[in-house]
Amino acid sequence: MRVSELEKTKLESIINDVTNETEILEAETSNQISWDDATSWDESNESKLNVAAKTKGFLPVLQNRRFLILWSGQVFSQLADKVYLVLMIALIASHFQAANQTISGWVSAIMIAFTIPAVLFGSLAGVYVDRWSKKTVLVATNLLRGAIVLAVPFLLWLSQDRTSIFGLPAGFWVLLGVTFLVSTLTQFFAPAEQSAIPLIVKRRHLLPANSLYTTTMMALLIIGFAIGEPLLELTDKLLAELGINWSFGKEMIVGGAYAIAGLILLLLKTGETKEILPKEEETHIFEDIREGIRYLGKNHRVRNALIQLVILFSVFAALAVLAVRLAETIPAMKPEQFGFLLAAGGIGMALGAGFLGNWGQRFSHTNLSLTGSFGVAGSLVGLSLFTHQLWLALLMTTFLGAFAALVGVPMQTTIQAETPEKMRGKVFGLQNNAVNIALSLPLALAGVAEAFFGLKSVFLGLAILAVTGGLLTWYISRTGSVMSTKATRN
């Protein structure tokens, strides 16, 4: 049978396409780092893999149906997280706050109940995420959080005639317990979500995927707190206009958002492989945690990325406190308007993440992080100089957010790309633990430091921390790459 020239050309084109895709797949497979080869990855491998990507930007990620499912679940879940805190404040104001009494003490107790599980269970949750199906964890944590929030009106009704416990109303203890449970489930959801991304996204598309993830997270941070109260009030008004006398409309919105996230994630296919071990071969939970710590000690790039993230979150946690004082010093602002400064930082981070999603693959993660560290430091120096100028302060916080994205997105991508599947839950659990501690300490210390040393001095101190951390991790990363290359050659 004779083959025409046109058919022959088409056949050769198809063969070439298949060959190219096979080479790319082999490059990705060969670059999957096992624990034993954890230090063998270097900048040249990273650059080659980025060059291998045929399509740049967000398009290949948005064409990935599995990522779209995970992303949609993230939208509803994280929106529920933000509105949940607004719901708690609304319940406190309507049930427990007395006339002429400040609400800050009640809210602080809720925030403590939300923070404690992150410190206590972050690492343990990561270990169990490695042992369980990621999809099961993602679905179950959202459905359970939804059920718990929907049960709040019934639990408050049960506790309304109870006596006070340690001077606090029984109903408020219900809110503390519910918040503790919701936060505990969140500790399982977070590492499962981070572990699922590299399972459903090709390695060469991890940077735009994380850019989109970060952009969405920052947008929901701004939108969630901004629309939380109006959304809950609108729900009550709509129910009243419809003649529905429900007292749990607010809880229905938050619990429903969690439930929708869980139902969406039921459609997710992670393609994960689970190694079934005999009972006698199963390791102890704390041994798994130690295994994760040893892995971080061995893989300098993952460890350095984690350090960079801890420093970054420390800076932003301190900024959340200092923004109130900064708003107070700006003549055109009131202290309670500090949210505009934080929103500017969120907009900057979204812009930075958008840049990375489209053009970030042209640069190495280490160089992006170093540039971002210098940019964060420069923005903090700018804030120390412009503590009385509104527009310049907003501009500096926007720059701060944009440069922070250059640190956060590549470092998160590095951790995902270079951590083997069987270690991801442990590593992300440890990351979750470290980040939450990094968020907690500056929240407690930043205000005290500002009172003793002044706003400008604290901003300058944070700038020094940012640039020192960036330089140190860059130097260690370069040194580690050279040492691992020499070891490989020998």
Residue 244 is predicted with a pLDDT of 65
316 and 221, same domain (yes or no): no
Domain hosting 60: range is 55-206+216-272
In this prediction, residue 141 carries a pLDDT of: 95
Question: Could you count the other beta carbons within 10 Å of the beta carbon of residue 431?
Answer: 26
Does 30 score more than 80 pLDDT?
no
Look at residue 308 in the predicted model and tell me its pLDDT: 87
Kindly report which listed range (270-284, 308-322, 438-452) carries the lowest average pLDDT score: 270-284
Only one residue has tokens 């812009």, namely: 351
Q: Which residue, 272, 299, 315, sits at the end of a domain?
A: 272
Q: Which phi and psi (to 5°) does residue 283 adopt? A: -85, 160
Between CA 408 and CA 210 the distance in angstroms is 9
Q: Are residues 322 and 404 in the same domain?
A: yes
Q: What's the confidence (pLDDT) of residue 225?
A: 63
All residues at 6 or more sequence positions from 19 whose CB lies less than 8 Å from its CB, including other chains: none
Query: Cβ–Cβ contacts within 10 Å for residue 108, how many?
Result: 10
Question: What pLDDT score does 490 carry?
Answer: 44
Residue at 335 is within a domain:
yes
Please check whether residues 127 and 149 belong to one and the same domain: yes
Cα separation values, 333 from 327, 344, 361, 394, 414, Å: 6, 14, 40, 11, 39
Q: Is the pLDDT of residue 382 over 90?
A: yes
Residues 317 and 367 in one domain: yes
> What is d(CA 54, CA 363) in angstroms, rounded to the nearest whole number?
16
More confident of the two residues 95 and 388: 388
Q: What is the pLDDT of residue 179?
A: 93
Query: Residue 61 carries which side chain, given as an amino acid letter?
Result: V
Q: Which of 22-31, 116-125, 342-351 has the lowest mean pLDDT?
A: 22-31
Average pLDDT of span 286-315: 81
Q: Is residue 17 part of a domain?
A: no
Question: Are residues 306 and 344 located together in one domain of the fold?
Answer: yes
C-alpha closest to that of 79 among 195, 191, 209, 226: 226
pLDDT in tens, 125-165: 888 888 888 899 999 999 999 999 999 988 888 887 777 77
Q: Is residue 7 part of a domain?
A: no
pLDDT value of residue 221: 67
Query: Residue 5 above 70 pLDDT?
Result: no
> Residue 266's pLDDT band (boundaries 50, 70, 90)?
very high
Q: Which residue reads 């399509």 in tokens?
A: 55
297 and 341 together in one domain: yes
Strand partners, 168: 165
pLDDT tens, position by position, 99-115 = 766 666 777 788 788 88
Check pLDDT > 50 for residue 344.
yes
What integer pLDDT is reported at residue 479 of this predicted model?
A: 66
pLDDT value of residue 37: 41
As a whole number, mean pLDDT of residues 14-32 equals 43
CA–CA separation, 244 vs 72, rounded Å?
30
Question: In this structure, is residue 159 part of a structural domain?
Answer: yes
Min mean pLDDT across 44-53, 227-236, 364-373, 387-396 is at: 44-53
Cα–Cα distance, 435 to 315 (Å, whole number): 11
Q: Which of 104-108, 320-324, 404-408 has the lowest mean pLDDT?
A: 104-108
Residue 259 to residues 310, 382, 423, Cα–Cα distance (Å): 31, 44, 29
Q: What is d(CA 212, CA 405) in angstroms, rounded to the nearest whole number?
A: 11
Q: Are residues 248 and 298 in the same domain?
A: no
Same structural domain, 289 and 152: no
pLDDT of residue 229: 73
Confirm whether pTM is higher than 0.75: no
Are 230 and 90 found together in one domain?
A: yes
Six token digits for residue 435: 């980040």
Question: Which residue would you say has higher pLDDT here, 408 or 225?
Answer: 408
Q: Does residue 11 sit within a domain?
A: no
Model pLDDT, residue 256: 92
**pLDDT > 50? residue 40:** no
Query: What pLDDT does residue 178 have?
Result: 94
- The interaxial angle of helices 170-200 and 134-150, nearest 10 deg, is 160
Q: 272, 302, 320: which is the final residue of a domain?
A: 272
DSSP 3-state of 438? helix
What average pLDDT is seen over the chain? 77
pLDDT at 32: 41
Establish if 21 belongs to a structural domain: no
Domain with residue 471: its CATH number is 1.20.1250.20
Query: Looking at the structure, do residues 234 and 353 belong to the same domain, yes or no?
Result: no
How many angstroms separate the Cα of 65 from the Cα of each of 71, 361, 388? 10, 22, 48
Q: Confidence class of residue 260 from pLDDT cuts 50, 70 and 90?
A: very high
333 in the same domain as 266? no
Domain assignment present for residue 10? The answer is no
Percent of the chain with pLDDT over 70: 78
Average pLDDT value for residue range 222-251:
72
Residue 176 has what pLDDT? 92
Q: Residue 43 carries which side chain, given as an amino acid letter?
A: E
Query: 67-93: per-residue pLDDT in tens?
Result: 999 999 989 998 898 888 888 888 888
Beta carbons within 8 Å of 222's beta carbon, 6+ residues apart = 343, 346, 347
Q: What is the pLDDT of residue 445?
A: 77
| Count of structural domains, the chain | 2
47 in any annotated domain: no
For residues 359 and 259, state if they share a domain.
Answer: no
pLDDT digits (tens, 9 = 90+) for 431-444: 777 877 777 777 66
Q: pLDDT tens digits, residue range 175-218?
A: 999 999 999 999 899 888 888 888 888 888 888 888 888 777 76
Given this model, what pLDDT does residue 88 score?
A: 86
